[in-house]
Amino acid sequence: MRKLAIPHKVQRFKCEQCSYSAKWRAHLKAHIQARHTASEEIKWFQCEHCPYKAKRRSHLKTHVLGRHTSDDNIEWFKCDQCTYKSKRRGDLHKHIRAHHLPNESIYWFECEHCPYKAKRRFQLTKHIKVRHTSAEAIKWFECDKCQYRAKVAFQLKLHTRINHTAPEDEIWLKCEHCAYKTCRKRNLNQHIKTKHVPVESITWFKCGVCGFKTQHECNLKKHIETLHIADENIKWYKCEQCTFKSKRKYCLKAHMQNSHAVPDFSTWWNCEKCDYRTKRKHCLLMHKVRRHENEKSVAGM
């Protein structure tokens, strides 16, 4: 293992088989086991409640917390600045860094190829891999059941779950109040909050200018930005190729993708179950998970 120097005299441990680097040697060892070790050589950590298994003990703990531990038995880590809470201390730290630190206190990871910057190193690494790495230089994540391949691991996981996992093999999370079920804990929590929490028990985010209120802080921010901030005080995200501008970065990204897409994104990916289409494969995968996952269970009954 060799060390790679980065700004501020911080030494990082560099993987000799790919571009990954880590602050801690243990993280590099975990990376090598996860990415560069044959499956038969790995010591798997098996869940005692379901078929799930993981290469890292911490991943198994996260799985058990998320899938097999009731909320009543969990020690929650709560944010002291908003209503956010998490089962993991590390996630709380990430939340505070992302939402409550002033920009001048954040160490930004900046892309050397474009104006993009990120609060977390893995986000910059992912950006460079997707946007600035040629196809021949990428280590692809390949499906062992078909010809699909992806630049990012989670896209392959989504593909496998959607296309190669039988309904009876899915780990379904069921609502205790109705027949709703989903494969994603986040979706179940959102469903319960929206459908089964009494109005008087909901934590509302209220606008200080008008009567608007919402269950989601991000929606309140969008509301204020859209209706109560003068145009001259808004940070606009402007297109470098035309006159388009937006108050939201994701809208600019969508505009760039739809109006100025490079040839790699010129192919439309169509959903076979509805009229949805997109120029990005992973967006189609996410659409299927969010919109059609329950249809999969019905079809399998």
Q: Kindly report, residue by residue over 176-214, the tens digit of the pLDDT.
A: 888 888 877 778 878 887 888 787 777 778 888 898 888
Instruction: Report how far residue 77's alpha carbon sits from residue 75's, in angstroms, rounded to the nearest whole number.
Output: 7
Q: pLDDT: is 120 or 232 the higher one?
A: 120
Mean pLDDT of all residues in the chain?
77
- Gyration radius of the chain over CA positions: 22
Closest CA to 97 of 110, 111, 81: 81
- Determine the Cα angle at 5 with ends 3 and 11, to 5°: 65
What is the b/e burial string over 282-299, where b = at least 16 CB atoms within 10 angstroms of the residue's CB?
bebbbbbbeebbeebeee
Are 87 and 76 within 8 A, CB to CB? yes
Strand 149-150 relative to strand 141-142: parallel, antiparallel, unpaired? antiparallel
Characterize the bridge pairing of strands 173-174 and 181-182.
antiparallel
- What pLDDT digit, counting tens, does each position of 17-58 carry? 887 788 888 888 878 877 787 777 778 888 888 878 887 788
Tell me what pLDDT residue 27 has.
Answer: 82
pLDDT value at residue 167: 67
Among candidates 271, 234, 239, 266, which has minimal Cα distance to 252?
A: 239
User: pTM, whole model, 2 decimals?
Assistant: 0.41
CA 7 to chain CA centroid, nearest Å? 27
* pLDDT range class, residue 104, cuts 50, 70, 90: low
* pLDDT grade for 74, boundaries at 50, 70 and 90: confident
Q: In the predicted model, is pLDDT for residue 301 greater than 70?
A: no
Q: Can you tell me the distance from the alpha carbon of 109 to that of 294, in angstroms, rounded to the nearest whole number? A: 39
- The yes-or-no verdict on residue 5 having pLDDT over 70 is no
- The predicted pLDDT at position 295 comes to 56
Q: Which residue has the tokens 């790919």?
A: 18
* Residue 227 clears pLDDT 80, i.e. is over it: yes
Task: Give me the pLDDT at residue 6, please.
Answer: 43
- pLDDT, tens digit, 9 for 90 and up, residues 246-296: 877 778 877 877 777 654 444 677 888 888 887 666 677 778 777 776 555
